[in-house]
Structure 1
Amino acid sequence: MSEFEQYYRVLELEPGATFEEVTQAYKDLAFVWHPDRLPKDNTRLQEKAQKKLQEINEAREQLRLSNMKYQTLQYSASHYSAASAQKNPTEKTYQHSAASAQKNPTEKTYQHSAASVQKNPTEKTYQHSAPSAQKNPTEKTYQPPHPNPDLSGKDYSRANLQNKDLSGRNMSYANLSGANLSDTFMHKVNLRGANLSEANLFRANLLLADLREANFRGANLVGADLSGADLRGANFMGARMKSGDRLLVKLVGANLAGAIMPDGKIYE
Structure 2
Amino acid sequence: MKPPIIAILGLLTPFLFTSQVKAANPDHIEQLLSTRYCQGCDLSGADLSAAHLIGADLRDANLTGANLTDANLEGADLTGANLEGANLTAALVTNASLNESNLNSVNLTKAMVFDADVTGASMISLILDEAQIFNTKISIGGEQE
TM-score with structure 2 setting the length: 0.69
How many angstroms apart in 2 are the aligned matches of 1:266 and 1:151?
Answer: 35
Which structure is richer in relative contact order (CA contacts within 8 A, separation 6 or more)?
A: 2
Aligned to 2:45: 158
Change (3 A) 1:212 1:187: same
How many angstroms apart in 2 are the aligned matches of 1:252 and 1:204?
Answer: 14
Aligned to 1:197: 84
Aligned to 2:104: 217
Report SS of the residue matched to 2:132: coil
- Give ranges in structure 2 of 5+ residues lacking alignment: 1-33
Native 8 Å contact 2:36 2:55 kept in 1: no
Aligned to 1:250: 132
How many angstroms apart in 1 are the aligned matches of 2:140 and 2:82?
Answer: 16
Give the fraction of aligned pairs with identical amino acids, expressed as a percent: 32
**Of residues 157, 162, 169 in structure 1, which corresponds to 2:56?**
169
Native 8 Å contact 1:238 1:262 kept in 2: no
- Check if 1:179 corresponds to 2:61: no
Counterpart of 1:163 in structure 2: which amino acid?
A: A
Change (3 A) 1:190 1:237: same
Deviations 1:156-201 (A, max 9, x none): 0001000111110110110000000000011100001110110000
- Give ranges in structure 1 of 5+ residues lacking alignment: 1-146, 243-247
Q: 1:262: how far off?
A: 6.8
How many angstroms apart in 2 are the aligned matches of 1:221 and 1:169?
Answer: 19
Q: 1:148: how far off?
A: 3.6
Deviations 1:21-45 (A, max 9, x none): xxxxxxxxxxxxxxxxxxxxxxxxx
Deviations 1:39-64 (A, max 9, x none): xxxxxxxxxxxxxxxxxxxxxxxxxx
How many angstroms apart in 1 are the aligned matches of 2:143 and 2:80?
Answer: 17
Q: By percentage of residues, which structure has more strand?
A: 2
Q: 1:266: how far off?
A: 9.8
Native 8 Å contact 2:96 2:115 kept in 1: yes
Aligned pair count reads 112
Native 8 Å contact 2:36 2:53 kept in 1: no
How many angstroms apart in 2 are the aligned matches of 1:216 and 1:192?
Answer: 11
Change (3 A) 1:218 1:179: same
Which runs of 4 or more aligned residues in structure 1 lie more than 4 Å from their structure 2 counterparts after TM superposition? 265-268
RMSD: 2.3
Q: 1:149: how far off?
A: 4.6
- Check if 1:232 corresponds to 2:101: no
How many angstroms apart in 2 are the aligned matches of 1:173 and 1:262?
Answer: 26
How many angstroms apart in 2 are the aligned matches of 1:266 and 1:235?
Answer: 18
Counterpart of 1:197 in structure 2: which amino acid?
A: E
Change (3 A) 1:267 1:253: closer
Q: By percentage of residues, which structure has more helix?
A: 1
